[in-house]
Structure 1
Amino acid sequence: MTNPATLSEHALPVPVPGWLAALCRFFAAVGGLVILAMMLMTVASVIKRSVLGAPVPGDFELVELGSAIAIFCFLPWCQVSGGNVLVDFFTSKANPRTNHLLEALGDLLFLLIAALLAWRLFHGGAEMRQYGEQTMVLRIPLWWAFPVIIPAMALLVATCAATMVGHLRKART
Structure 2
Amino acid sequence: MADTEIFSEAASPISLPGWLLAACKGFAAIGGVTLLAMMLMTVASVVLRGIIGKPIPGDFELVELGSAITIFCFLPWCQATGGNVVVDFFTQKARPRAMHLMDAFGSLLYLLIAGLLLWRLIHGALEMRQYGEQTMVLAVQVWWSFIIILPAMALLTVTCAASFLAHLKGVRA
Structure 2 partner of 1:38:
38
Matched, 1:127 2:116: no
Structure 2 partner of 1:95:
95
Aligned mate of 2:4, from 9, 28, 44: 9
Q: TM-score, normalised by structure 1?
A: 0.94
Q: Tell me, what secondary structure is at the counterpart of 1:15?
A: strand
How many percent of aligned residue pairs carry the same amino acid? Answer: 64
Report the residue type matching 2:132 in the other structure. G
Deviation of 1:170 after TM superposition, in Å, equals: 1.2
Report the residue type matching 1:119 in the other structure. W
Cα distance in 2, alignment partners of residues 94 and 11 from structure 1: 19
Q: Tell me, what secondary structure is at the counterpart of 1:66?
A: helix
Unpaired segments of 5 or more residues in structure 2?
8-12
Deviation of 1:11 after TM superposition, in Å, equals: 4.1
Q: Tell me, what secondary structure is at the counterpart of 1:16?
A: strand
Q: Which has the larger share of strand?
A: 2
Cα distance in 1, alignment partners of residues 21 and 93 from structure 2: 30
- Residues 6 and 16, structure 2, Cα contact 8 Å, conserved in 1: no
Deviation of 1:98 after TM superposition, in Å, equals: 0.7
Structure 2 partner of 1:164:
164
Q: What is the root-mean-square deviation of aligned Cα atoms in Å?
A: 1.2
1:107–1:149 CA distance, 2 compared to 1 (3 A): same
Deviation of 1:146 after TM superposition, in Å, equals: 0.4
Q: Tell me, what secondary structure is at the counterpart of 1:87?
A: coil
Report the residue type matching 2:96 in the other structure. P
Report the residue type matching 1:101 in the other structure. L
Q: Tell me, what secondary structure is at the counterpart of 1:160?
A: helix
Report the residue type matching 1:9 in the other structure. T
Q: Which has the larger share of helix?
A: 1
